[in-house]
Structure 1
Amino acid sequence: MSNGTAGNPEPTPRNDAVRLLARREYSRAELKERLAARGHEPAAIAACLDALAEQGLQSDARFAESFLRSRVARGQGPLKIRGELARRGVDRDTARAAFAELEQGGELDWFALAADALARRFSTPGDTPRERARRERFLAGRGFDSEQLRHALDHAWDDA
């Protein structure tokens, strides 16, 4: 813990928040939780978070976009990502805007992502209903919907 001596600023909500934001983007709710865990007063946290947002140092929209890109790179589907964003305190409109930006920019094809994730994990579609069900559970667990799942099962090994 910092004690305000040489080189260590006082542990204010702003200093703690900036230190966290220097490592990665955080949602407002995540920062609020972390600052509260460090013993800062709720009123001071709220004022700090408002100031950080005004200065552009914290943005739920930027967090949502960064989070979405990182999860897509991991091969996760839209259902799982939306759920994670909600758990991290990002509202539906902000999440929807992040998805729309990536989808409209042509950077994101959920069907191709599902097929790619499936082909990387399994070398064949499976010969038995049990093996096929295993592949379906894999994709469902990754957060792909039933339409994306069916497409992936039909096209994951087209190039192989």
Structure 2
Amino acid sequence: MSDAKFNKLLDYETLKQQFGDDEDKAQTSSTTSALVFNPEERLFDHSTQETKKPGLTGSRLRSYAFAVLTRKEYSKAELIEKLALYADNRDEVLKLVDELSKENYQSDQRVAEIMLSSQKRKGKGPNQIKMKLKNKKIDASLIADELKETNWVQQAYELKVKKYGTDVSKDPKIKAKQIRFLMYRGFEMDAIIKAISRKPNDFE
């Protein structure tokens, strides 16, 4: 497949005109909207009693796949299920997604890296990040190095300070509360103990 063909399909403005955009839908009249092809709106045809799929195939399925990918990154498993809702043939979806993955238009690696960065900003530990990757059917080994290189003690300590302050409590009940809080956030016990025992002037 030539780059020119992909570039043409990746022209977001063209795709937006073909498929519509959420904001544009709110602004266009019902007459105009009726002329815009939108698989998600056609998923349910209220003119009949049975639910109908748009039955996308070939270039229309391919174009819809690119329209989806221009809006956000999807894991391979997520993209398959997304496209299968509107496709006529699941085997065609599997073949298309494999092709998009090989051409790097879809990447589990990118999704994993984006998730790692996002979850760390939210104060989530490695266990919760791995669980979220598993839910998206992404192999955590894709970011094994990044997980290993992250200073999880520092991450847990900063979260503990934000929630409980810098004091190192000797009260078993308070310590237990802090441990539960950090465990819920997905940190491992070794990092938790070091974090709640760490004083402001301590350096590793």
Scaled by the length of structure 2, the TM-score of the pair is 0.64
Q: Does 1:136 align with 2:179?
A: yes
Worse-superposed segment, 140-149 or 63-72? 63-72
SS in 1 for 2:18: coil
Which consecutive unaligned segments of at least 5 residues does structure 2 have? 1-15, 20-36, 40-59
* Alignment partners' CA distance in 2, 1:41 and 1:116: 50
Which residue matches 1:30? Answer: 78
Which structure exhibits the higher relative contact order, with contacts defined as CA atoms closer than 8 Å and separated by 6 or more residues? 1
1:1-160 mapped onto 2 (5 Å cutoff): 7-8=17-18, 11=39, 12-91=60-139, 95-101=140-146, 103-104=148-149, 108-123=150-165, 124-126=167-169, 128-155=171-198, 157-159=199-201
Identity over the aligned pairs, expressed in percent?
A: 30
Change (3 A) 1:40 1:122: farther
* Residues 13 and 44, structure 1, Cα contact 8 Å, conserved in 2: no
Change (3 A) 1:16 1:138: farther
* Alignment partners' CA distance in 1, 2:148 and 2:189: 19
Task: Write the deviation string for residues 9-67 of structure 1: whole angstroms up to 9, x where unpaired.
Answer: 56543333322322222110111122223455311210220121122100111211111
Give the alignment's Cα RMSD to 1 decimal: 2.4
Change (3 A) 1:40 1:86: farther
* Alignment partners' CA distance in 1, 2:103 and 2:17: 24
* Alignment partners' CA distance in 1, 2:71 and 2:169: 42
Scaled by the length of structure 1, the TM-score of the pair is 0.80
* Residues 114 and 149, structure 1, Cα contact 8 Å, conserved in 2: yes
Change (3 A) 1:151 1:40: farther
Aligned residues between the structures: 148
Amino acid in structure 2 at the alignment position of 1:97? L
* Alignment partners' CA distance in 1, 2:168 and 2:85: 47
Post-superposition offset of 1:87: 1.0
Amino acid in structure 1 at the alignment position of 2:143? A
SS in 2 for 1:7: helix
Q: Which has the larger radius of gyration?
A: 2
Worse-superposed segment, 115-124 or 78-87? 115-124
